[in-house]
Amino acid sequence: MTKRCLDEGLLQAYIDGELSNESAAEAASHIASCDACATALAEFEGDSAFFAAAFAPDDSISVPTEVLRSRINASVAQLEDALEDRAVEREQPRSRAHDIAFQNGRLLAVQHQHRREQSREARNAVAHQVA
């Protein structure tokens, strides 16, 4: 790695544990010495925590419902508002790439939730057949 600031892809790979040990160590060293990258990392970690909470499993429902969709949409709207506030504070518009990445993340999260619920339904169906 170079001494330049880390881009969004490297920061996300660092958070996700996808970097080699050497690259992760270099990234950690850079983050420790760079306020801009440390701030960006904190924002990414906050976004990750936000999504984890927004898409936490709700075992009381077995299929996607209007309540779940409303909760997802409310969480996404809240995050979009926060992103807009950050952009205004920095006086920098969000990039098109960031918007696309955000939408892809939202889609992946909804697809993941749907697959989990389908899997739960399949297990329940097998359990009923066995019983």
Which tens digits make up the pLDDT trace of 72-119? 888 888 888 887 777 666 655 557 777 777 777 887 788 888 888 888
- 61 lies in the same domain as 118: yes
- 125 lies in the same domain as 69: yes
**Rounded to two decimals, what is the model's pTM?**
0.40
What gap in Å lies between CA 16 and CA 23, rounded to an integer?
13
Residue 33 has pLDDT above 90, yes or no: yes
- Supply the pLDDT for residue 123: 78
- 35 lies in the same domain as 83: no
- 26 lies in the same domain as 69: no
- Supply the pLDDT for residue 111: 81
What gap in Å lies between CA 4 and CA 87, rounded to an integer?
22
What gap in Å lies between CA 65 and CA 63, rounded to an integer?
6
The domain of 76 spans 55-130
CA-nearest of 96, 98, 91, 111 to 43 is 98
Provide the mean pLDDT of the chain: 79
- 28 lies in the same domain as 86: no
- 118 lies in the same domain as 92: yes
105 within some domain: yes
Contact 102, 75 (CB under 8 A): no
- 112 lies in the same domain as 59: yes
- 110 lies in the same domain as 66: yes
77 within some domain: yes
End-to-end alpha carbon distance in the chain:
58
119 within some domain: yes
- 35 lies in the same domain as 62: no
Tally of CA atoms within 13 A in the half-sphere of 54 that contains its CB: 22
